[in-house]
A = this chain, B = another copy of it.
Amino acid sequence: MQLFYTTHIADNKALLTDDEARHVKVLRKSVNDHLHLIDGTGYLYEAVITEIVETKKAHEVHLNIVSKNLQARSRDFHFHLFIAPTKQNERIEWMLEKAIETGLDSITFIQTEHSEKNRVNMGRLEKICISAMKQSGEFYKPLINDLMNFKDVLHSNKDAVQLLAHCNSQFEKQSLQDYSVAIKNANINIFIGPEGDFSETEIKQAYEMGFKGLSLGSTRLRTETAGLYATMALSAVLGK
């Protein structure tokens, strides 16, 4: 089923703009044709095209909503990934695309002691997010949060199970499979550090705040591979 994304839905009317409106044109749809819309809040809308506006400045498709149905969430846990951005943007970008396809509710980028990059392109990540949502038939749009300092994030999220993935063998760690009972139906926050890992001070601080150590297997993983591994492993271990 082809899905179109818009946040412009009110009073049984909907509006598609920009890429979404151009896509309607590419598919040669016209007035009176029916489309399926999503707005990222869990609803699936059926709508009928009432007007297509195409000028040099704007592409717009106006629709009337025919039906609106709330879709069930596909997971009974909430997964929030905290991850240091990689030096190359494209590595975080594909990680986000794949993580959304397999099951991610929120992502927050973190600035850590060993971070080499402290900027993310939010506009581009939003676009990737919407495209991945449509591709995978997800009705709930993941929340993407801009960069925060790791120390600030440490003190929030008290109601979640907080798992810190790191490679320091001095600190106790367990696998997601080991945590599977503790994290069932929970709010799960998983933290992935930069290429240089979390510092010893950061790990200590996190453990003092009640974080648990998470092992992602015996091989060395790149940051973006670790982020995706956490997402996919969680889905495999808890089902969805």
A interface residues with partner B (beta carbon < 8 Å): 74, 94, 98, 101-103, 135-138, 175-177, 217-222, 225, 228-229, 232-237, 239-240
Contact = CB atoms under 8 A, between A and B. Distances in A.
A116 B182 CA distance: 44
A222 to B, nearest CB: 7
B236 A175 contact: yes
B74 A219 contact: yes
Contact of A101 (B102, B136, B225, B236): B225
Q: Count the copies.
A: 2
27 contacts: A74-B218, A74-B219, A94-B94, A98-B225, A98-B228, A101-B219, A101-B222, A101-B225, A102-B217, A102-B219, A102-B225, A135-B220, A135-B222, A136-B219, A136-B220, A137-B220, A138-B219, A177-B239, A217-B235, A219-B240, A228-B228, A229-B232, A229-B235, A232-B236, A233-B233, A234-B236, A236-B236
Contact of A237 (B102, B177, B225): B177
